[in-house]
Amino acid sequence: MFGPLLSPHDPTAQDLLHALEGPSLAHPLGTDHVGRDVFARLAHGAGRSLGIALACVGAATGIGLGLGLTAAYAGRWSDMAIMRLADLMLAFPGSLLALLISGFLGGGVLPMLIGIKLTLWPQFARMARAIAQSELKEPHVEAARLAGFPARTLLIRHVLPAVLRQTTTLATLGLGAAIMSISALGFLGLGLQPPTPEWGAMISELLPYISEAPVQMAAPCLAIFISVLGATLLGQALSEPDSGKEIER
């Protein structure tokens, strides 16, 4: 996220006289087909790729938790309506749905956010509903209900903390999926538009020059790989304490 501070070069500045140069002191990862510094573009693209992924996961988590808690508490008909909507969204392949929405709306940040959010929220809603239904049957929650506490208090103070503990792991895994979706849309030209640096778009731009610039081509691929791997390992690390407690029980 602080990568732009490490590179003195403008990520959009072109220098055709130094196109496809290999790594050097001036350009640690070389230059692309129009002479732009690859390290500068990689560093500036990190903030956009990871920032958009975090925004997508955050929005999907909020929507999913809200609908999941509503389905668990509001009653049979609301539960059926929300869960059938979630099933409908899950029937579409996630990447295909994001691709269709981005393509229909012309690409860019907003369509990308909408498409990826629609692919992620059903997972959070289903998990939140399952955990909330279990928590609502706990004795202390039943006691609070009989004491006359409103539904908002029951859900926020007694149910939501347990839901958040479980969905944090799912959110980290969703972050990796969001990074992959953003990169895929950028590769297809439906993400951030040139000359804005973005990892998927960088791969698409350098693909015709893979034989002349293998290092430049590998840089955004490796950045995506490390980011997704980091998100996955973070999710596994967060889930281990809970898994240990379940085994002990």
pLDDT in tens, 125-158: 999 999 988 888 888 888 888 888 887 888 888 8
Q: How far apart are CA 230 and CA 48, in angstroms?
A: 17
- Tell me the CA distances in angstroms from 99 to 8, 92, 195, one per residue in order: 35, 11, 21
**pTM of the full structure:** 0.82
Assigned domain for 7 exists: no
Q: How far apart are CA 43 and CA 164, in angstroms?
A: 32
- Residue 185's pLDDT band (boundaries 50, 70, 90)? confident
Assigned domain for 8 exists: no
Which pLDDT score, from 0 to 100, does residue 241 have?
A: 59
CB atoms within 10 A of CB 226: 10
Q: How far apart are CA 92 and CA 13, in angstroms?
A: 40
Count of domains observed in the chain: 1
Give the range of the structural domain holding residue 120, as residue numbers without chain letter.
24-248
Asked if pLDDT for residue 218 goes beyond 90, the answer is yes
pLDDT in tens, 4-21: 777 888 898 998 998 899
Assigned domain for 56 exists: yes
Q: How far apart are CA 244 and CA 193, in angstroms?
A: 46
Structure tokens at 19: 């196109």
Assigned domain for 220 exists: yes
CATH code of the domain containing 187? 1.10.3720.10
Which pLDDT score, from 0 to 100, does residue 238 have?
A: 81
- Tell me the CA distances in angstroms from 238 to 6, 92, 168, 232, one per residue in order: 31, 29, 8, 10
Collect all residues with Cβ–Cβ distance below 8 Å to 196 and sequence separation of at least 6: 12, 48
Assigned domain for 199 exists: yes
pLDDT in tens, 190-210: 888 878 889 999 999 999 999
- Tell me the CA distances in angstroms from 94 to 34, 101, 130, 170, one per residue in order: 34, 11, 22, 16
Assigned domain for 149 exists: yes
Assigned domain for 138 exists: yes
Which pLDDT score, from 0 to 100, does residue 226 have?
A: 94
CB 186 within 8 A of CB 199: yes
Asked if pLDDT for residue 248 goes beyond 50, the answer is no
Assigned domain for 73 exists: yes
